[in-house]
């Protein structure tokens, strides 16, 4: 049996780049593809911070529905946008080789503000906001929403000192400017820099095709990071970061995870280095360590704050 694999995607420049990348890889393997772009609620509502909208998977729900109603066969996402619990009938079919997981700061050409008591930095992420305020408690953060191009334009149009972006997104669409610095100290979002393809669990044709695109190292790393997130959050959006690195020279994994209060004043960190054979429960054990050492109390507080 052969059929055209219909690829669902959001219609931003970055999302379309990701969908086209998957389409090309599938075509190179001999499959026919068609790209179908849709707008998500997260793209349409730009005047509220994401956490205030109270919807898990705000960028993925529209495509989930399109798959379940038969409008598309597969969906391509930035993996960090995908909820850790997928809808019944939808499965993770491939994780592509991961790009940079780093956060970067875009600035206006003058970094002296990093030494000053007052400055304004823009980000739509609770994690980035909390990590920034933890390091620079006197600074102010403002919400920044929209696709990559919209956010970059907002930075240009405002007198903010800088704005925080994922390096991978800017690199993929060749929009990384000269005025940036790597935020090596900032723990990335779980699965940041990774692209994931979802499919229906009954679609053997698509699942067989996508299995050929899967990168096992990226799959394991993102599994651990998302297991950490799932164990900590219990369905609550929170300032959580996690990053796994595979060390080829000794076949070990290093894991760094973080949980913060919204204002960055409380910070729980965990660091582990384990043999690769211990990967399956690494995220779970790291999260339990944080929860057992005070993180559970903070998570309760976060749930209450984010309900309001």
Residue of 218, 256, 19, 10 lying closest to 99 (CA atoms): 218
Q: Which residue in the list 43, 64, 73, 81 is annotated as catalytic? A: 81
Q: Could you give the CA distance from residue 4 to residue 231 in angstroms, rounded to a whole number? A: 38
Work out whether the CA dihedral 232, 237, 241, 245 comes out positive or negative.
Answer: positive
Whether 81 is catalytic is: yes
At 262, list the tokens.
Answer: 């919204």
Q: Report CA 174 to chain centroid distance, whole Å.
A: 19
d(CA 272, CA 257): 9
Helices within 98-192 (DSSP H only): 126-135, 148-157, 167-172
Cα–Cα distance for residue pair 144/113, rounded to 1 Å = 19
Give the total residue count for the chain.
308
Token readout for 176 is 């990384």
Q: In 143-175, which positions are buried (b, 16+ CB within 10 angstroms) versus exposed (e)?
A: bbbebbeebbebbeeeebbbbbbbbbbbebbee
Q: Give the active site residues.
A: 81
């Amino acid at each position: 049996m052969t059929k055209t694999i219909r690829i669902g995607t959001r219609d931003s420049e970055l999302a379309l780049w990701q969908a086209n990348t998957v389409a090309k890889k599938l075509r190179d393997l001999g499959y026919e593809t068609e790209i179908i772009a849709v707008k998500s609620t997260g793209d349409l509502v730009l005047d509220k911070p994401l956490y205030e909208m109270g919807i898990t998977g705000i960028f993925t729900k529209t495509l989930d529905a399109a798959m379940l109603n038969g409008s598309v066969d597969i969906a391509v996402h930035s993996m960090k946008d995908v909820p850790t619990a997928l809808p019944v009938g939808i499965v993770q079919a491939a994780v592509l080789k991961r790009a940079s997981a780093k956060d970067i700061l875009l600035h206006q050409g003058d970094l002296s503000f990093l030494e000053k008591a007052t400055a304004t930095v823009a980000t739509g992420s609770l994690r980035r906001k909390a990590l920034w305020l933890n390091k620079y408690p006197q600074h102010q953060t403002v919400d920044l929403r929209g696709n990559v191009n919209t956010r970059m334009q907002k930075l240009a149009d405002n007198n903010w000192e800088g704005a925080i972006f994922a390096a991978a997104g800017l690199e993929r669409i060749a929009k990384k400017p000269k005025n940036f610095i790597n935020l090596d100290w900032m723990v990335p979002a779980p699965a940041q820099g990774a692209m994931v393809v979802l499919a229906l669990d009954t679609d053997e044709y698509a699942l067989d095709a996508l299995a050929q695109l899967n990168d096992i190292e990226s799959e394991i790393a993102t599994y651990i990071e998302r297991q950490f997130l799932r164990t900590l959050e219990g369905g609550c959006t929170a300032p959580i970061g996690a990053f796994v690195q595979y060390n080829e020279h000794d076949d070990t994994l290093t894991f760094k995870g973080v949980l913060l209060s919204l204002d960055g004043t409380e910070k729980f960190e965990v660091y582990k280095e384990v043999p690769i054979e211990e990967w399956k429960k690494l995220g779970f054990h790291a999260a339990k360590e944080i929860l057992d050492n005070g993180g559970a109390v903070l998570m309760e507080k976060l749930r209450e704050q984010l309900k309001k």
